[in-house]
Amino acid sequence: MPGQRKHRINDQINVPQVRLIDADGEQLGVVPAEAARARALEKQLDLVEVAPNSEPPVCRLMDYGKHAYRISKEQKQRPHNTQLKEVKFRPKIDQHDYDFKMKHIQRFLTQGHMVKATIMFRGREVVHPEYGRKILDRVVDELGPTVRVDNPPKMEGRLMSMIITPKRD
């Protein structure tokens, strides 16, 4: 396994006694560390310290290579951290600015992130929330069936926002 190991194995375990667990999960009790190493060698397995802080440390007989491989596979299958990315619009946004921000939203969604689309109202613009609603509806229409609206557009003070996520297949 590349990098530094999390568990001490075989000769790295330097305590006089260990609580031994068999490869099948059966507890074999407290045995001298040498006897545990001998049993691991006899069964062609590794003696792996799984709970170093207990008294005596808990060790398990297992094939450490298979164990490390299984753990690395599980970590690769876990979903990656999704972040909430925010893209801010204004009610009277120019077409080029809108297109530029849409590219950002599409990039965030393809990376699997959640996107919070926010309309910032200034001054008397807040009297016309329908302008902001039109922009947010346009965002959803342009993204089409590839997104799901988690939080529909709603006003929070001078901000109108909604959260969209990519649809999972």
pLDDT for 10 beyond 90: no
- CATH classification (class only), 10-76: alpha beta
Closest Cα partner for 85 from 112, 65, 59? 112
Average pLDDT over all residues of the chain: 87
Where does the pLDDT of residue 30 fall: very low under 50, low under 70, confident under 90, or very high at 90 and above?
Answer: confident
Q: Domains of the chain: which residue ranges?
A: 10-76, 84-166
79 in Cβ contact with 86 (< 8 Å) = no
- CATH classification (class only), 84-166: alpha beta
105 in Cβ contact with 139 (< 8 Å) = yes
What's the pLDDT tens digit per position in 81-115?
778 999 999 999 999 999 999 999 999 999 889 99
- Euclidean distance between CA atoms 109 and 112, whole angstroms: 5
Q: What per-residue confidence (pLDDT) applies to 1?
A: 42
For 35-50, what is the mean pLDDT? 86
